[in-house]
Amino acid sequence: MVQEKNNQGSHVSRRSFLKNGALTAAGFMIVPRHVLGGKGFIAPSDRLRVAGIGVGGKGESDLSEIAKGPSDIAYLCDVDSRRAAASVARFPKAKFYKDFREMLDKEHKNIDAVTVSTPDHQHAVAAMAAMQLGKHVYVQKPLTHDIYEARMLSAAAKRYNVVTQMGNQGASGDGVRQMMEWYNAGTIGDVHTVYCWTDRPVWPQGIPWSSMKAEVPKELDWDLWLGTAPYKDYINKLVPFNWRGWWDYGTGALGDMGCHIIEPPFRILGLGYPTSVECSVGSVYVDEFKRGYFPESCPPSSHVILKFAGKNGKEVTFHWMDGGIQPERPEELGPNEIMGDGGNGAILIGTKGKMMCGTYGMNPTLLPTSRTKEVNIAKTIERVPEGHYVQWVNAAIAGYNSPKNKLISSPFSIAGPLTESLLMANLAIRSYDIRKEKEGKTSYPGRYIKLLWDGPNMKVTNFDDANQFVKRTYRQGWSLGV
């Protein structure tokens, strides 16, 4: 494949990728697994051929866990060969690519499923490209960078009949299932208030973009790393981790930890789209009475309040706190007892009691903690002994219409609305920084207001400027393909 590279685009255009992929597919008499999947389905192979997109860091651990199931890691793709080195060494038979579009274009007939463990801003385009070729997908959290992307991926999973899983592994844990059983049995009554908190960020936020241009490491394809994001010169200490604090690439503390901490109460209460959101945001002062203005960077801390319509018709108030901010300790919790797991946690307050957990729904606890051993509720929800990763592998082999797929822990039908909710919180945080100049006066119209959300139509109804954060405009050469 001939490649052209420039700072305004990328190696392989989305249009040529889809066209070439479709032509190549037409030349082979291959029936995808998702077409065959269903009752009585016998897979053409009892092993899943997996391609990894983003294989360093978390991607490396994702592939290592997936390899524990009946799978073969057949292809590796990463824009940074330094970060990919451990996976290349671990899976020496896997062919290596830098551009996922080239990999899918050339190798799709030999791939059953794809994992996506890139920075947040590349999740949607990589996952969508794989699904459009009929590949099952495992995508790291948060599912997407934007609300619109999450909605599109959720719809695509159903349209293309592929098995999907988001990388919030706590969704397969025993903790959330234990809490669901308590709640379903009426142990704490109807939940009306939820508190979730984290000690993240543990990377720099609330700072200006560096003015010091740096030399791009020879192992890194910077243009491919930028992908859908606007072109900027390379700076030090952005890759491989600190991108999380910049809106062009990451989704802040909410994106990093929200899917792990918000997921248990979200699932337990059967929540959908929020109806409103408001926030307060921590500030950095750069001089006396001079607040720093760094809208490209996530804030150092925030407190977001989301409102949901509960299943019983009663409103649920949902608090998110990050940057080390925590809610008041429940009066039922002893003075020396740890709240959540310390730095992170969730508390659900019902009409008859309270319960809490740590990250991933771990250590589920009724309050006071003595109730945890006193209350005995029968197990009514099937556990996932094989774990989050192998559950996805087994379901992908069985097929989209299989019973195993119906039991998948975090399919896009669940992960999509969850991701949309935490991104709605980010929309409020970003709206807080909208600045307007008129007649020499500066105003911040997105501050100190409540944003009203029309979930089905993905629109803020009372402050139109906020809607710019629902959907990004991709850099030339990149498209979601819908």
The residue among 59, 57, 50, 69 whose CA lies nearest residue 116 is 59
Q: Is the pLDDT of residue 415 over 60?
A: yes
Q: For 130-156, how does the pLDDT look when each residue is reduced to its tens digit (9 = 90+)?
A: 999 999 999 999 999 999 999 999 999
Long-range contacts of 383-389, Cβ-Cβ distance < 8 Å, separation of 24 or more: 383/174, 383/177, 384/172, 384/173, 384/409, 386/69, 387/65, 387/68, 387/169, 387/172, 388/65, 388/165, 388/167, 388/169, 388/171, 388/172, 389/62, 389/65, 389/66, 389/68, 389/69, 389/138, 389/169
CA separation for the pair 443, 250 (Å, rounded): 26
Please tell me the predicted confidence (pLDDT) of residue 110.
Answer: 97
Q: What is the mean pLDDT of the chain?
A: 92
Please tell me the predicted confidence (pLDDT) of residue 27.
Answer: 37
**What average pLDDT score do residues 224-252 get?**
97
Containing 279, the helix (H) or strand (E) segment is: strand 276-281
CA separation for the pair 104, 455 (Å, rounded): 33
**What average pLDDT score do residues 53-66 get?**
98
Residue with tokens 């379901």: 395
Asked whether 76 and 104 are in contact (CB, 8 A), the reply is no
Containing 188, the helix (H) or strand (E) segment is: none
The overall pTM is greater than 0.85: yes
Q: Which residues contact 219 (CB under 8 A, 6 or more apart)?
A: 80, 81, 82
Q: Is the pLDDT of residue 213 over 60?
A: yes
Q: Is the pLDDT of residue 10 over 50?
A: no
Using a pLDDT cut of 70, give the percent of the chain over it.
91
Q: For 425-476, how does the pLDDT look when each residue is reduced to its tens digit (9 = 90+)?
A: 999 999 999 999 999 999 999 999 999 999 999 999 999 999 999 999 999 9
Please tell me the predicted confidence (pLDDT) of residue 12.
Answer: 55
CA separation for the pair 9, 363 (Å, rounded): 47
Instruction: Give the lowest-confidence range in 28-37, 116-125, 312-321, 447-456.
Output: 28-37
CA separation for the pair 40, 181 (Å, rounded): 32
Q: For 364-396, how does the pLDDT look when each residue is reduced to its tens digit (9 = 90+)?
A: 999 999 999 999 999 999 999 999 999 999 999
Asked whether 324 and 302 are in contact (CB, 8 A), the reply is no
Q: Is the pLDDT of residue 206 over 70?
A: yes
Please tell me the predicted confidence (pLDDT) of residue 2.
Answer: 33
Q: Is the pLDDT of residue 39 over 80?
A: no
Task: Decide which of 335 and 29 is more confident.
Answer: 335
Tokens read off for 376:
């005995």
Q: Is the pLDDT of residue 179 over 90?
A: yes
The residue among 302, 306, 205, 202 whose CA lies nearest residue 262 is 306
Please tell me the predicted confidence (pLDDT) of residue 17.
Answer: 55
* DSSP 8-state class, residue 217: P
The residue among 188, 186, 425, 199 whose CA lies nearest residue 330 is 188
107 — pLDDT class (breaks 50, 70, 90): very high
